[in-house]
Amino acid sequence: MRIKICGITRPEDAQVAENEGADAVGVVLFSDSKRSVRPERAREIFHAVGPFTATIAVTHTKLEDDLAQIIALNPTAIQIFHPFVFDTPPGLKVIRVIARGDPLPDDCDAVIVDESHGGGKQFDLGHARETVRGSRVPVILAGGLTPENVGRAIREVRPYAVDVASGIEISPGIKDHRKIRAFIAACRSV
């Protein structure tokens, strides 16, 4: 099971996530989210992890200039919350966020089932299962995941990966290192 720790705002949280076994860290940029950071901070966070941990830039922007600044950070992937079409340089992955009723996109490397956008709203089990069955690309499950429920979610949905933000926080953007450990341990035990 692959694991993404998202909404990271501090380099030390990214390091703990990596040290505990997370496969990816996510940083929110150009968003009204409480977890949104400036590009300079995102660069610090991305540089805090080694070359084998994926760095994901999460954004809501529709502006070309914002996307150019994100691309300049050299993330592994951009996670974007709408069908905005933009030029991606070679090697940059695109993760599209979908909710119930959205068609499965075909212009991406993975989809993420998340209606909460980092708000902790529980995912819809039926929609998540249907997405896993119908998608031609890997499906990432997000929304309301915690150390206590992620094992059951993995068993019931069988996603490619899981993504957590609010379920492991002390406050928005500030990660609880014990919860990071517990979340990753719960994922690995399935």
- Taking only the tens of pLDDT, the chain with its 190 residues reads 999 999 999 999 999 999 999 999 999 999 999 999 999 999 999 999 999 999 999 998 989 999 999 999 999 999 997 677 788 899 999 999 988 888 899 889 999 998 766 667 788 899 999 999 999 999 999 999 999 999 999 999 999 999 999 999 999 999 999 999 999 999 999 9
* pTM across the whole model: 0.95
Which distant-in-sequence residues (6+ apart) come within 8 Å of 12 by Cβ?
Answer: 48
- 39-94, pLDDT tens digit by residue? 999 999 999 999 999 999 999 898 999 999 999 999 999 999 767 778 889 999 99
Please report, as a single letter, which amino acid is at residue 99.
A
Percent of the residues in the chain that have a pLDDT greater than 70, as a whole number: 97
Residues noted as catalytic:
6, 114
**Cα gap 35→13, rounded to integer Å:** 13
Number of Cβ atoms within 10 Å of the Cβ of 66: 16
User: Is the torsion defined by CA of 151, 153, 158, 160 positive or negative?
Assistant: negative
Output the average pLDDT for the chain. Answer: 94
Decide: helix, strand or coil at residue 44.
Answer: helix
Domains of the chain: 2-188 (3.20.20.70)
**Cα gap 111→137, rounded to integer Å:** 7
Tokens 């705002």: give the residue.
Answer: 9
Residue 24 near residue 4, CB atoms below 8 Å: yes
Beta strands in 10-155 (DSSP E): 24-29, 36-37, 54-59, 77-80, 93-98, 110-113, 139-142
Question: What are the backbone dihedrals phi and psi of residue 71, each rounded to the nearest 5 degrees, phi first?
Answer: -60, -35
